Amino acid sequence: MARKIRRARVTPGWHEQAACKGVDHWVFCNDEAEQRDGEPRPPYSDEDAKSYCAGCPVISECREEALRMRDFFMTRGGMNEDELRAEHHRRQRTSAA
């Protein structure tokens, strides 16, 4: 009898559909991140990043990946780093209850 292999649920190629594809990654970096070459950060705000996310067709996939991978260092899925951390902690509390 053949065994069934359970595979993780993924959305193949969702990164290709990202609204931020090709956009300067500094738009999404948090305020503390510094450029490696010591140059000052470009003056992007949270709202700049969130404006891309708001119209992104893969916002859910992106947010869930960030939460699953604990990638809280950039704005992803329409949430900045603080919001991602808060959502992560909220889910931890909910699953522990």
Contact positions vs ligand SF4 (CB under 6 A):
18-20, 28, 52-53, 56, 58-59, 62, 76-78
CB of 67 vs ligand SF4, minimal distance in Å: 12
Nearest residue (CB) to ligand SF4, 2 versus 17:
17
Nearest residue (CB) to ligand SF4, 1 versus 86:
86
CB of 41 vs ligand SF4, minimal distance in Å: 17
Position 26, amino acid: W
Whose CA is closest to 72, among 90, 58, 85?
85
Nearest residue (CB) to ligand SF4, 29 versus 62:
62
CB of 12 vs ligand SF4, minimal distance in Å: 15
Whose CA is closest to 77, among 18, 34, 33, 9?
18
Cα distance between residue 48 and residue 97, in whole Å? 36
Q: What is the largest CA-CA distance in the chain?
A: 62
